[in-house]
Chains A and B, each alone.
Chain A
């Protein structure tokens, strides 16, 4: 069971989550996404200071069989990446929406986070997708 989502966590249609702290957004893949991907064996994260457009492919998570792009859910500049998941990709499987975070963005527009889904909206979205 995933942990009860905190109210400020938001979700993208590409199955990323965002947690906002001031104008810094922590980004990861959702628990649903890690389950769908299966055991991760490789994670590639964006370079620090890279500027990302919303929707830009910026990271890669790979299982034994397949590679999946991770998209920037919001526009901003990469200020921190999580070396722990690069060293041990299984951390993402174990705690996708916590310890398994991928990178932190300094957002161009923190208010843009409101356009993302909340936990209820994401749950409905998953149901719609037939997950």
Chain B
């Protein structure tokens, strides 16, 4: 597969925390055109807290608090009268009904009902929306959104901001010390607040299934913020490796793997993101196809899978029924550090999508028995 952006390591973009990662012993890898930390081998003082590596970083996030750099993601302001209505023409989420100080997960859909990207949209008040999109999709997303805006509504990509995620059961205790009002935010609450002397836009959200926060910060303040967070005894850095295993345990989709233009929100189990009011106006791209799938059921559904034994079954593995007939494909699969067992997600024909249905996964010429399970694999522990 040609990946011209990645061919030359010098051509990789760097986040504002690039030097900081290297100081923490990060192993940097190319991801979506950026040099990103996949895991850390921390210096001795920090290794006593978390020895580093995907397993330890993952478990640190489940038990204490992990700090992720997700500055590669796209951040933008959408401003001007009618910004919410303009965005609603591109997404099935209820954006106009999003109260100030709140954030919502939604999807950019295309005319075929496929998913162009998944994104977070926050109403920061005074008619301003703050959006966060996937790194791999940000150029396409921003062009797509900008092209659909009426006069007076403006999309302003924020290339000069970093995004840090502090995730884990002790994340709130950490942030309470540094910025008490942030720790009082409800789930998916958003507020502009200073942390460690820098103005941040903080949301109580994340991609791990744990309680936690995402902090958008001007690039110039990113390192001071990371240092302030890491100075707290609960916190250890975690890389993209742990981020992926955490999100899969939480049953969350990775764009490009579990959802893409070939999957619809209904097939992907994301019909819950379609606002009640939006199910009356049906005024978003692909609405007719999506509505028909809601009413008569999709041909296939995203499901959780627990393979027997210990062998991880990876993306791309065919899913078979008990008679050996192909019924779907694995889209994400790895070894779950929390469950100490392999887990996977994939799409299967609707008849096979019910909990406890027994299937098999094709692995190195053998059929590994697997059972369909409800998602998430590890219960979410968001703040009430």
Q: Which residues from chain A sit less than 8 Å from chain B, CB to CB?
A: 38-39, 41-42, 44, 60, 62-67
- CB-CB nearest in chain A for B312: A62
Task: Give CA–CA (A41, B312) in the complex, Å.
Answer: 9
A42 touches B310 (CB 8 A): yes
* Contact, CB under 8 Å: A64 / B334: yes
Chain B CB within 10 Å — which of A39, A41, A42, A64 has the most? A64
Contacts A64-B241, A65-B244, A67-B312 given: A42-B53 contact, CB under 8 Å? Answer: no
B204 within 8 A of A: no
Q: Which residues on the B side are within 8 Å of A67 (C-beta)?
A: 312, 314
Chain B residues, Cβ within 8 Å of A63: 54, 335
Which chain B residues numbered 318 to 355 have a C-beta less than 8 Å away from chain A?
334-335, 337, 342
Give the contacting residue for A42; candidates B54, B55, B56, B312; CB below 8 A. B312
User: Judging by beta carbons under 8 Å apart, are B39 and A38 in contact?
Assistant: yes
Segment 15-47 of B: residues with Cβ below 8 Å from A? 39
Whose C-beta in chain B lies nearest to the C-beta of A130? B9
Contacts of A65 in B (CB 8 A): 54, 241, 244-245, 334
Whether the pair B311, A64 counts as a contact (CB closer than 8 A) is no
Residues of B within 8 A of A (CB): 39, 53-56, 58, 241, 244-245, 310-312, 314, 334-335, 337, 342, 364
Q: Are B335 and A62 in contact (CB under 8 A)?
A: yes
Residue pair A42, B311 in contact (C-beta under 8 Å): yes
The reply to whether B310 and A64 contact each other, CB–CB distance below 8 Å, is: no
Find chain A residues with CB under 8 A from B311 CB.
42, 44, 60, 62
Task: Taking A42-B310, A65-B334 as given, write out 10 further A-B residue pairs in contact, using a Cβ cutoff of 8 Å, ordered by the A residue number.
Answer: A38-B241, A41-B310, A41-B312, A41-B335, A41-B337, A60-B311, A60-B364, A62-B335, A65-B244, A67-B314
**Closest chain A residue to B56, Cβ basis:** A39
Q: Output the least CB separation between B374 and chain A (Å).
A: 22
In the complex, chain A residues whose CB is within 8 Å of the CB of B241: 38, 64-65
Q: Counting chain A CB atoms within 10 Å of each CB, which of B56, B314, B335, B342 scores highest?
A: B335
**Residue contact B337 to A64, C-beta cutoff 8 Å:** yes
A64–B53 CA distance with the chains assembled, in angstroms: 10
Q: Of all chain A residues, which has the CB nearest B313?
A: A67
Pick the contact of A39: B54, B244, B310 (CB < 8 A): B54
On whether the beta carbons of A39 and B55 are closer than 8 Å, the reply is: yes
